[in-house]
Amino acid sequence: MTKKTPDNQKIIAGLEGLALKVVMLEEGDLPGLGDFLNHLESLQKLLDAETTAEAVSLFQQLEEVGNKLILQEIGPAAKAQELLGQGVSLLLAWARDRKFSTDTEAWRSYCRFSQELGLGDTGEGSAVSEEEAEAEPEVAGAPKEFVWEDQELTANFIAEAREHLEGIESGLVHLEQAPTDLTAINAVFRPFHTIKGVAGFLNLPQIQDLSHEVESLLDEARSGRLSINAAIIDLTLTGVDALKEMLDDLQEALSEQRPPRQFELQHIKDQVKQLQNQDEAGVQVPKRQLGEILISQGELSSSDLSEALEQQKAEAGAPPLGEILVKEGKVAPKKVAKALVDQLIEEKGGEAAASPAGAEGKAAADAQLPPTIKIDLAKVDNLVNLMGELVIAQSQVRQNPNLQGISDPKLERDLAQMSRITSELQMISMSMRMIPIGQTLRKMVRLVRDLSRKSKKQVELFIEGEETEIDRNMVEAIYDPLVHLVRNAVDHGLETPKEREAQGKPPTGNLWLRAYHKGGNVVIDIEEDGRGLDRERILAKAQEKGLVQPGEQLTPSQIDNLIFEPGFSTAEKITDISGRGVGMDVVRLTIERLQGKVEIHSRPQLGSRFSIRMPLTLAIIDGLVVKVGKERYILPAVAVRETLRPATSDYFTVQGQGELIKVRSQLIPLLRLHRLFRAGNGDIHPTQALVMVVEHEGKQRGLLVDDILGKQEVVIKSLGGSLQNIKGLAGGTILGDGRVGLILDLAGLFSLGQA
């Protein structure tokens, strides 16, 4: 009976080696077990079709025992190892005479052992482990008394988990468009997995529980048991939201030293279960199936299709559907090929259109991140402040009259060197507070997705310049205006697919979010290729609201800018998305508070671009240095509209309103800085001085000054102490010669002027 095939020789030799390995196995010897399994696997590959079923199943059972030993799911280990030994001996006996005998003491002993260890005799034992896995999350009940595991670590965890959740949102949107992208699935899966792991250490059962639920859902997608669809993505986003809420609560709980709140998670769990079961029934299919395409092309009847599918199901390892159809003569091979190509195009087309630029950029950025450390923000703020002090102290030293009396070239050089180093140090310390804007921009991904679903518009979002840096303190301030502009872009700017098609545009609208540095500023563009601003309607509305006098001639850009006027809103109906009465004026106000500007570029039918231009940091402003008497003041350059020396005919005094200046046929109240600050000649005639027209919150005032000394970037220093809240002054700065210049606060000035 013995067959002396080369393979059989190999099997025998292999089994002998395997027997030796089993003897050498010690308890908990994972490398040994790994070695054993690898050998077992390579031997299984040598088995041929004639191998008796008993031998095949015995091989499988040995593999299962090996796996269970690794996972510590079988015990006692010594007994399981002995079972392995007996199994290998049985296989060796089989391989030597190619006959599997069940009527031996060895086989009976093996079966007894196997039963004692709780193994079925067909090698089917995985049901047990699955039940175990199901049962595990039940443990995650909340303990009666809450104990913080490690508060510092918990705080770190909150920050890090939030960061990762942001990443998930943009990852999910990408995934929705490319549901088969395994890297994308993994990128979304990983954070939940990690959050779950860390939460387990930090005694946060609810977070652990929730992330486990979402993770298990995504894991099914990862392993291909479930295909990604809108429902899964929605549920994952719900999970993200719930986790964020928990993290918020956790942070509060941490600072208040109270136990975290209890959250209701059952509905999410139920939904997860539902989705998992639904997909098992094959309800959700990501792409059009071959049969579907053939039917839609009229090449196949649905009864033929179901017949072929039946046939495919019946045969284990059956050929693909296309092959069956051709073999049965239902469809010509050419047609099947064409349908397959169509299917591929549909799939690829979806993917190609999907990949948002941001996602790719992020992947590239992930690959090459320089090493970083995390520092408490307060420390950095302190450093930046101290650097400001150092710059001042340094300039005081330089301006010291005694020192200036010394004419020593070496001292000169050393002082110059010192000031160079201090200013460089200041730059570096400022840059430490700068963070990439990417995270803020990525938050818009989720927003755009939700908006486009709500408004039934198709929007593709492109994010550029994620690495652009911005002062940490400005990031939060810029978020709300950005959200507002993005909402407006989707809600008002972009058209519905139907409207777009009617105009010969592709149904999917494009929305670009771009961040870049330009001339010492950070610029954020929000641009879409929608309908553009409707100037006629804006003008009509502005006239109706009395913002524009009838007959007044306005340039297109002036008309566009009317939307920033307080109380202006063109939305014909208030939608759920934008236009809740909070107008664009708030956007402009917020940005101006950040020393920034918003500009509009709009072209009818081609779209609009809103550009937010802001200084790199709030600690530095672009200032105009003006002279008032002997004092020097700094005006924020963004607020200055124009500068003029009025003619006598343009100057009026009106009873009860004080002095007015006529600028371009508009009367503007005049504020005398000389009088407000009691500096210099309070009675100087405006025609002998300069009027700076400044704008704040849509109101204009003329500020009377003696002269403009220049434009300069100045570092804002708080005046500190009792000088901190003086109306009309925002702070102070050190000018080039080391003297203090006061920075004007327009809001304060305007209200002073009214009194």
Partner 1 sequence: MEKNIDYGMKVLVADDFATMRKIVRNILKQIGFDDIVEAEDGQAALQVLKNENIGLVVTDWNMPNMTGLELLERIRKDPKTANLPVLMVTAEGLKENVVAAVKAGVNNYVVKPFTAEVLQEKLEQIFKKLAG
Give least dist CB 370 to partner 1, A: 11
Report cis status (omega within 30 of 0) of the bond before 356: no
Mark 418-437 as b/e (b = at least 16 C-beta within 10 Å): eeeebeeebeebbebbbebb
Cβ nearer to partner 1, comparing 201 with 408: 201
- Tokens describing residue 101: 């005998």
C-alpha distances in angstroms, 279 versus 178, 234, 238? 18, 15, 19
Give least dist CB 707 to partner 1, A: 55
Query: Residue 504: how many CA atoms within 13 Å on its side-chain side?
Result: 2
Give the β-pairing of 459-464 and 509-518.
parallel
Give the β-pairing of 666-672 and 658-663.
antiparallel
Give least dist CB 194 to partner 1, A: 4
CA separation for the pair 392, 188 (Å, rounded) = 49
The three-state secondary structure class of 55 is helix
Cβ nearer to partner 1, comparing 155 with 318: 155
Cβ nearer to partner 1, comparing 164 with 601: 164
Polymer length in residues for the chain = 755
Under 8 Å between Cβ of 604 and 556: no
Phi-psi domain of 171 (left: phi exceeds 0; alpha: psi -120 through 50; beta: other): alpha
Cβ nearer to partner 1, comparing 23 with 647: 23
Please provide residue 508's backbone torsions phi and psi, each rounded to the nearest 5 degrees: -85, 125
User: Partners of 653 in the beta sheet?
Assistant: 659
CA separation for the pair 559, 543 (Å, rounded) = 11
- Identity of the residue numbered 75: G
Q: Among 490, 493, 484, which residue's Cα sits nearest to residue 460? A: 490
User: Kindly report the CA angle at 521 between 520 and 524, in degrees rounded to 5?
Assistant: 150
Under 8 Å between Cβ of 380 and 432: yes
Give least dist CB 366 to partner 1, A: 6
Give least dist CB 473 to partner 1, A: 23
Give least dist CB 186 to partner 1, A: 8
Give least dist CB 468 to partner 1, A: 23
Cβ nearer to partner 1, comparing 41 with 467: 41
- Identity of the residue numbered 553: Q
Give least dist CB 380 to partner 1, A: 18
Give least dist CB 48 to partner 1, A: 24
Cβ nearer to partner 1, comparing 38 with 751: 38
Residue with tokens 């100087």: 684
The three-state secondary structure class of 643 is strand
C-alpha distances in angstroms, 7 versus 12, 35, 88? 9, 21, 17
Give least dist CB 149 to partner 1, A: 9
Cβ nearer to partner 1, comparing 160 with 650: 160
C-alpha distances in angstroms, 78 versus 26, 40, 237? 8, 19, 47
Cβ nearer to partner 1, comparing 41 with 707: 41
Cβ nearer to partner 1, comparing 63 with 464: 63
The three-state secondary structure class of 659 is strand
Please provide residue 29's backbone torsions phi and psi, each rounded to the nearest 5 degrees: -85, 80
Under 8 Å between Cβ of 486 and 513: yes
- Tokens describing residue 571: 């939305």
Give least dist CB 138 to partner 1, A: 12
Give least dist CB 70 to partner 1, A: 5
CA separation for the pair 732, 146 (Å, rounded) = 49
Q: Residues interacting with partner 1, by CB under 8 A? A: 26, 28-31, 33-34, 37-38, 41, 67, 70-71, 129, 133, 136, 150, 153, 156-157, 160-161, 164, 186-187, 189-190, 193-194, 196-198, 200-202, 212, 215-216, 219, 366-367, 369, 371, 374
CA separation for the pair 586, 582 (Å, rounded) = 7
Give the β-pairing of 699-705 and 690-696.
antiparallel
- Tokens describing residue 583: 């107008």
Give least dist CB 515 to partner 1, A: 24
Under 8 Å between Cβ of 361 and 468: no
Give least dist CB 187 to partner 1, A: 7
Cβ nearer to partner 1, comparing 123 with 607: 123
Cβ nearer to partner 1, comparing 94 with 192: 192
Cβ nearer to partner 1, comparing 113 with 189: 189
